[in-house]
Structure 1
Amino acid sequence: MKNGTITRRCRCTDPETGKDLGASCPKLQSRRHGTYGVFQELDPAQDGRRRRFRRGGFETSAKAKEELDKVRALMAIPEEDDAWGRTQISDLLENCVKDKSPLPDYDETRRRFQTGQALNSKVTVGEWLDAWLAGRKRLRRGGAARYECDIRIHLKPHLGHLRLDKLRVHHIDTMFDAINERNIEIQEQNAQRRAVANELKATPNKGAENRARRKWLRAQLEAMPPFRRITGLNTQPHIRDTLRAALNVAIAQQVMPAFNPAAHVELLPGTKPKALIWTDERIARWEETGEKPSPVMVWTPEQAGTFLDFVAQDRLYMLWRIIAFRGTRRGEACGVRWEDHSAKARSLAIATQLVQDGWDVHEGAPKTDSGFRLIALDDETNNGLLAHKARQQREREEWGEGWQDTGRIFTQEDGSLLHPGKVSDLFERLTEAAGLPPIRLHDLRHVAATLMLAAGVDIKVVSETLGHSDTRITRDIYQSVLDDLARDAAEKVVQLVPHARRPLAAVPDDEPKSKTAPRRPRMVPPRKGDASPQDRSA
């Protein structure tokens, strides 16, 4: 390494030529005149170009020497025979000259150099998240869409401007604090909109005063933000996990320090919604407030029967029946093919599904490996599928050349694929028309689980039928249902033993007191023929 030099110069010019006097200025003999600068020869660039580190404007030679010492300390980080490392340090110093930026911290630069990280990286969190997501080649569309949503809605707006290597835990904590504050604002605005909407619904059209009131209420609704969903406590861990996964790759590729701040972020505890049954009390409360007791609600067997009776003539009746009794997912029911149905074996193979990506629909594999499964069918469902096939054949003949042969069991009238989103919308309309309390189409799958559990089906069979990878998942989701069944079982056990439910009688101890402490009355039922205490004392 060549020695650097400290220079001194001023801006004085020759009055005759107008050129800078430079080091020949006579006033430089005074220490207060001019400024000091540093000069250090750097390693040549990869193309052989000569490079120098120059920086001026120091008021004293001591400050200039301090800057030069920092430059030389940085250049001494690589070994003398490490040509590549020396080039990297020289690149770093050259960029400092071009950007007029301060010298990097010695300890940080040394650590990054020793761990093989890029020294000149100025990648932002947003740029890295985009690059990371683009490099995930094995993601399913649904997973990619979920990651993209986390990045676009939350991570980039809050963290995207930060340099990747400068990201810290407190930055991420601040993001989640902002999300929770935004949730409170959304909930308040939703409550205000719901109150106005309920008043509008309750205000009759009859009468000029009522019509004026309704007009004013509609204007209020138009001025309010639409109903929005909050980013709940159960969603926030997924946002954190998305960031953590992206940062893990950055660490593996030595783009950032070997510390993942997302792994050290603590979130407010969230609980998975439990499946609750629509009891009479819950229905009354829902009718009064319009709020569901839980995001996951389940019909009773009687309510499920009412729905199936109501949709008995619907062309998708067998789809509703299969979900209600066998618990298939929406995409699985929409995507099942005739080749997956064995009438002889009375079974239905789940080997594919229709996935909704935005509003586009495409075919995909089941959600998990355990999603590939064989579902047993009862006789009525098996025969119902054969009748449905005959009906579909008639539709095919009516459409003629316009029929689209997709091979699916459940299709639109022209044979084209069902849209899962439209199926959910239809289910919601049918539920309301049937006069039943609301559940989601996915909750009809929970109805199937409840029916199987109530029928005494083993939890492992229920788990396999639903396509869960572990019975613990089934128990966790339906724990409240299992508790209800356990209470019912306890009642049935007691009812098996016939006995008269008479109150227990307290029999006092008439023996004389002894030196020991008196005994407490023994609680025993009276025996037939025993005299009462009053009779014995007579």
Structure 2
Amino acid sequence: MTKQLGTSDKPGKKSAPKLRDGVMKRGSTWSYVIRVKDPQTGESKPKWVSGFATEDDAKAARDEARVKARRGEYIDRNEITVGEYLDEWIEAHAVEIKPKTLKDYRDIINRYVKPHIGGQKLQAVRPATITKLYRDLMAGGGKSGRTLSPRTIDYVHAVLRKAFRDAVEVDQVLPSNPVERAKRPRRTVTEPGSVWSTEQLRGFLVVARQHRLFAFFHLASYTGARRGELLNLRWSSIDLDGCEMTITGSAAFIDGERIEGTTKTGRRRVVSIDESTVRVLREHRRQQVADKLLAGEDWRGTGDHVFATGWGDPIHPDTVSSLMPILIKRYNDPKDGPKPGKPLPHARLHDLRHVHATTLLLAGVPVHVVAARLGHVDPSITLRVYAHVIRAAEASAAEIFAKAIGE
């Protein structure tokens, strides 16, 4: 009597599932097995993957896995979600990311990523997944469903690119980075440095001179230093006789706590200052000494900060930023004297840095010198940010050359 396929020698008992070319049915789903070399020991070990609805699905996945195994690109299946991975990733990097950057990363992940794709399996994310995320954020990812700016989406993209790159290169749970191939919305480039002319800056500083923090705005304009760098500045880092200052770090407030760390690039730099800036700083120091004498035992200054309150506490970053619109309004609508012919347009504190860079570039200062002054780690950053200024300077290059040779 011939035994039928799929039956057992013993009546009433089902035969055990059979493995056919690496594919087997287990219960209601199909599985496959391949052999993968351990990268550390070189030993070949079986890898089972299950959960396929049909035999054809299992075979297709098996074939793809075999190719990757031969190339050394095989990745074990992992059930971790995007949200779970990002939580682990941010915690693993907490010790090496600056506190302010860490907070920004967490805010971006919690506000823009997790609500949309946080529950998806990390290994199921495709470039189209990320592209759709960006479209959804553009359409209504802001507060109360408002549209999100392309600039913010650039920040989201930067964080995801770093995280998914580590998923590929460090944690090895992804074969490739889907964020690299995602399509970001087009953005209109806003050219910095075009807010104020040097004449407008001069008028602003005339009004700012009436405030006790005039030296801060003068130094920001005349050095191009960042807000946090100036608020971290100590008198010990300024050589008034040698006309230079050393920027060694940056200050910020995070969750109500003042945090001081390195500069944005992690490097210190020496910035030259002119004689007028030296005079402004000497006057500022005399005023600070007077404040200390007036406060007496109530003086709270302990850190030798150049910019402090009347009681010696370090200045909060929001203080100088919020002063900008107040001083602009004071210029445009003075209490005494006639109003200016042309009002000052709105500007941010950071725009003083852009005016500084623009003025130097238009005056012919080499790009690498401006980059070093601004603290850009590479002159290519300066070239990209201030490309419009450099184009304007190039437009007159032909006339300059012709005049130089006497034509």
Normalised to the residue count of structure 1, the TM-score between the two structures is 0.60
* 2:289 pairs with 1:393: yes
Given the alignment, which residue of 163, 167, 181 partners 2:125? 167
Could you list the per-position Cα deviations for residues 39-97 of structure 1 after superposition, in whole angstroms to 9, with x for gaps in the alignment?
5699xxxxxxxxxxxxxxxxxxxxxx983699897467689xx99956x64xx77xx7x
Given the alignment, which residue of 469, 483, 504 partners 2:377? 469
Are residues 455 and 177 of structure 1, via their aligned partners in 2, closer, same or farther at CA, if it must alter by over 3 Å? closer
| Corresponding residue for residue 301 of structure 1 | 198
1:71-470 to structure 2, matched below 5 A, reads 74=32, 85=45, 89=48, 105-108=58-61, 111=65, 114=69, 117-119=75-77, 121-136=78-93, 137-182=95-140, 230-252=147-169, 256-275=173-192, 277=194, 297=195, 299-357=196-254, 360-369=257-266, 372-404=268-300, 405-435=302-332, 436-470=344-378
Q: CA RMSD in A?
A: 4.1
Contact 1:38–1:68 (CA<8 Å) still a contact in 2? Answer: no
Normalised to the residue count of structure 2, the TM-score between the two structures is 0.77
Alpha-carbon distance in 1 for matches of 2:212, 2:75: 62
Alpha-carbon distance in 1 for matches of 2:282, 2:243: 11
The one-letter amino acid paired with 1:249 is D
Alpha-carbon distance in 1 for matches of 2:148, 2:219: 33
| Corresponding residue for residue 60 of structure 1 | none
Alpha-carbon distance in 2 for matches of 1:254, 1:314: 53
Are residues 165 and 491 of structure 1, via their aligned partners in 2, closer, same or farther at CA, if it must alter by over 3 Å? closer
Identity %: 25
Alpha-carbon distance in 2 for matches of 1:338, 1:351: 12
Are residues 316 and 85 of structure 1, via their aligned partners in 2, closer, same or farther at CA, if it must alter by over 3 Å? same
Aligned residues: 375
Are residues 105 and 300 of structure 1, via their aligned partners in 2, closer, same or farther at CA, if it must alter by over 3 Å? same
| Corresponding residue for residue 335 of structure 2 | none
Q: Residue 25 of structure 2 aligns to a residue in which SS?
A: helix
Q: Residue 348 of structure 1 aligns to a residue in which SS?
A: strand
Task: Provide structure 1 residue ranges, at least 5 long, that are not aligned to the other structure.
Answer: 8-21, 24-35, 43-64, 187-224, 278-296, 499-538
Are residues 344 and 243 of structure 1, via their aligned partners in 2, closer, same or farther at CA, if it must alter by over 3 Å? same
Alpha-carbon distance in 2 for matches of 1:253, 1:490: 51
| Corresponding residue for residue 283 of structure 1 | none
Contact 2:90–2:106 (CA<8 Å) still a contact in 1? Answer: yes
Structure number with larger C-alpha Rg:
1
Could you list the per-position Cα deviations for residues 389-412 of structure 1 after superposition, in whole angstroms to 9, with x for gaps in the alignment?
121111112222222222110111
Task: Provide structure 2 residue ranges, at least 5 long, that are not aligned to the other structure.
Answer: 333-343
Contact 1:424–1:441 (CA<8 Å) still a contact in 2? Answer: yes
Contact 1:334–1:353 (CA<8 Å) still a contact in 2? Answer: yes
Alpha-carbon distance in 2 for matches of 1:438, 1:270: 22
C-alpha deviation, 1:250, in angstroms = 2.5
Contact 2:34–2:62 (CA<8 Å) still a contact in 1? Answer: no
Contact 2:251–2:258 (CA<8 Å) still a contact in 1? Answer: yes
Could you list the per-position Cα deviations for residues 268-310 of structure 1 after superposition, in whole angstroms to 9, with x for gaps in the alignment?
3435421353xxxxxxxxxxxxxxxxxxx2x112111111111
The one-letter amino acid paired with 2:201 is A
